[in-house]
A and B are shown apart, each in its own frame.
Chain A
Amino acid sequence: MRRNRRVKKHSRFKSGATGMAALIVSSFIMLMIYWTLDSQCTSILRDIGTAENKLKALDAEYGRENARWNAMKTRERLDEKITRFGLAMQSPHPDQVVRMTAAGEPAPGQMSVARARARAKTGNMALASPRTRRQARR
Chain B
Amino acid sequence: MTGANEKVRFYAPAVLLVAGALGIGTRLVLLHLSLVTAHTKQPNYGFTRNTQGCRGTIYCMDGKEVLAQTKTVWDYHVDAQAAARDPVNPKKPIKPEVRREKIRTLADVLQIPLLQVMDAYAKRDPNDPSKMARYVKLVTSDDDGIHAVLSDPKRRFKELSITERQVRVYPQGRRLSHVVGFVSKDPTNRVGGAGIELRYEKWLKGTPGTVRGTRIATGGEARVRREIDVDARPGNDVYLTIDPNIQYEVERALAAGVASNKAERAWAIVLSVKTGAVLALANLPDYDPAQYNKSPDSTRFNGAISENYEPGSVMKTITACAVLNERIVGPDTMISTARNDPNYYRLPGDGSHKWEERMSVREALVHSSNIVYGKLGVDLGPKRLWTYMTNFGLGRKTGIELPGEETGIIPNWNSWDKVKWSRAPIGQGVAVTAIQLANAYAAIGNDGELLRPFLVQKVVDPDGAVLYEHQEKEVLGHPIRPETARKVREMMLGVAKKGGTARRAAVKGYSVAGKTGTAQMKEGRGYSQTAYNASFIGIVPASRPEIVILVTYQKPAYCRSFKLSQETGLPLYNHQGGVCAAPTFSRIASAVLRYMAVAPDIPEEIDPDLYEDVPEEDNNQP
Find chain A residues with CB under 8 A from B616 CB: 108
Among A64, A67, A112, point to the contact of B171 (Cβ < 8 A).
A67
CB within 8 Å for A41 and B18 given contacts A94-B607, A113-B619: no
Contact A70 B223 (CB under 8 A): no
Among B25, B73, B245, B609, point to the contact of A75 (Cβ < 8 A).
B245
CB within 8 Å for A15 and B618 given contacts A64-B72, A74-B171: no
Question: Which A residues, 49 to 108, have Cβ-Cβ distances below 8 Å to chain B?
Answer: 49, 60-61, 63-64, 66-68, 70-71, 73-76, 91, 94, 97, 99, 105-108
Find chain A residues with CB under 8 A from B606 CB: 94, 97
Question: Which B residues, 162 to 178, have Cβ-Cβ distances below 8 Å to chain A?
Answer: 164, 169, 171-173, 175
Contact A67 B169 (CB under 8 A): yes
Complex CA–CA separation, A15 to B1 (angstroms): 14
**Is B71 an interface residue, CB under 8 A from the partner?**
yes
Find chain B residues with CB under 8 A from A130 CB: 609
Complex CA–CA separation, A113 to B622 (angstroms): 11
**Is A131 an interface residue, CB under 8 A from the partner?**
yes
Produce 1/0 per residue, A21-60, CB < 8 A to B.
0011001000100100000011001101100000000001
Q: How far is the CB of B206 from chain A (nearest CB, A)?
A: 12
Contact B6 A63 (CB under 8 A): no
List the B residue with the shortest CB-CB distance to A66.
Answer: B69
CB within 8 Å for A70 and B609 given contacts A13-B3, A49-B221, A75-B244: no
Q: How far is the CB of B249 from chain A (nearest CB, A)?
A: 9
Q: How far is the CB of A99 from chain B (nearest CB, A)?
A: 6
Find chain B residues with CB under 8 A from A70 CB: 65-66, 69, 171
Find chain B residues with CB under 8 A from A108 CB: 616, 619-620
CB within 8 Å for A67 and B609 given contacts A49-B223, A99-B603: no
Highest count of chain A CB atoms <10 Å: which of B3, B28, B65, B66: B66
CB within 8 Å for A94 and B248 given contacts A31-B21, A49-B223: no
Q: How far is the CB of B286 from chain A (nearest CB, A)?
A: 13
Highest count of chain B CB atoms <10 Å: which of A41, A71, A105, A111: A111
Contact A13 B70 (CB under 8 A): no
Complex CA–CA separation, A44 to B51 (angstroms): 23
Find chain B residues with CB under 8 A from A113 CB: 618-619
Complex CA–CA separation, A49 to B66 (angstroms): 32
Find chain A residues with CB under 8 A from B619 CB: 106, 108-110, 113-114
Contact B607 A129 (CB under 8 A): yes
Contact A11 B3 (CB under 8 A): yes
Contact B14 A94 (CB under 8 A): no
Q: How far is the CB of A89 from chain B (nearest CB, A)?
A: 12
Contact A17 B612 (CB under 8 A): no
**Is A20 an interface residue, CB under 8 A from the partner?**
yes
Find chain B residues with CB under 8 A from A27 CB: 18, 21, 25
Q: How far is the CB of A77 from chain B (nearest CB, A)?
A: 10
Complex CA–CA separation, A72 to B607 (angstroms): 39
**Is B240 an interface residue, CB under 8 A from the partner?**
no
CB within 8 Å for A75 and B248 given contacts A15-B10, A31-B24: yes
Contact A111 B245 (CB under 8 A): no
Complex CA–CA separation, A68 to B69 (angstroms): 11
Contact A117 B72 (CB under 8 A): no
Complex CA–CA separation, A74 to B1 (angstroms): 98
Contact B3 A131 (CB under 8 A): no
Complex CA–CA separation, A126 to B14 (angstroms): 121
**Is A6 an interface residue, CB under 8 A from the partner?**
no
Contact A71 B171 (CB under 8 A): yes
Question: Which B residues, 139 to 170, have Cβ-Cβ distances below 8 Å to chain A?
Answer: 142, 144, 164, 169
Among B28, B72, B220, B613, point to the contact of A60 (Cβ < 8 A).
B72
Find chain B residues with CB under 8 A from A63 CB: 54, 69-72
Complex CA–CA separation, A41 to B7 (angstroms): 42
Q: How far is the CB of A72 from chain B (nearest CB, A)?
A: 8
List the B residue with the shortest CB-CB distance to A26.
Answer: B21
Find chain B residues with CB under 8 A from A112 CB: 610
**Is A3 an interface residue, CB under 8 A from the partner?**
no
**Is A8 an interface residue, CB under 8 A from the partner?**
no
Complex CA–CA separation, A41 to B222 (angstroms): 11
Find chain A residues with CB under 8 A from B28 CB: 34
Complex CA–CA separation, A23 to B248 (angstroms): 84
List the B residue with the shortest CB-CB distance to A130.
Answer: B609
Find chain B residues with CB under 8 A from A42 CB: 223
Find chain A residues with CB under 8 A from B164 CB: 60
**Is A5 an interface residue, CB under 8 A from the partner?**
no
**Is B415 an interface residue, CB under 8 A from the partner?**
no
Knowing that A11-B3, A20-B10, A110-B610 are A-B contacts, what are 9 other residue pairs whose CB atoms are under 8 Å apart, sorted by A's residue number? A11-B1, A15-B10, A42-B223, A60-B164, A64-B144, A74-B172, A97-B610, A99-B599, A106-B619
User: Can you identify 19 A-B contacts, CB atoms within 8 angstroms?
Assistant: A11-B3, A15-B7, A24-B18, A27-B18, A27-B21, A49-B221, A63-B69, A63-B71, A64-B144, A67-B71, A71-B171, A73-B65, A74-B173, A75-B244, A91-B594, A94-B607, A94-B609, A109-B613, A117-B621
Which positions in B face A, CB cutoff 8 Å?
1, 3, 6-7, 10, 14, 17-18, 21, 24-25, 28, 54, 65-66, 69-73, 142, 144, 164, 169, 171-173, 175, 220-221, 223-224, 244-245, 248, 594, 599, 603, 606-607, 609-614, 616, 618-621
Cβ-closest 3 pairs across A and B: A45-B223, A94-B607, A70-B171
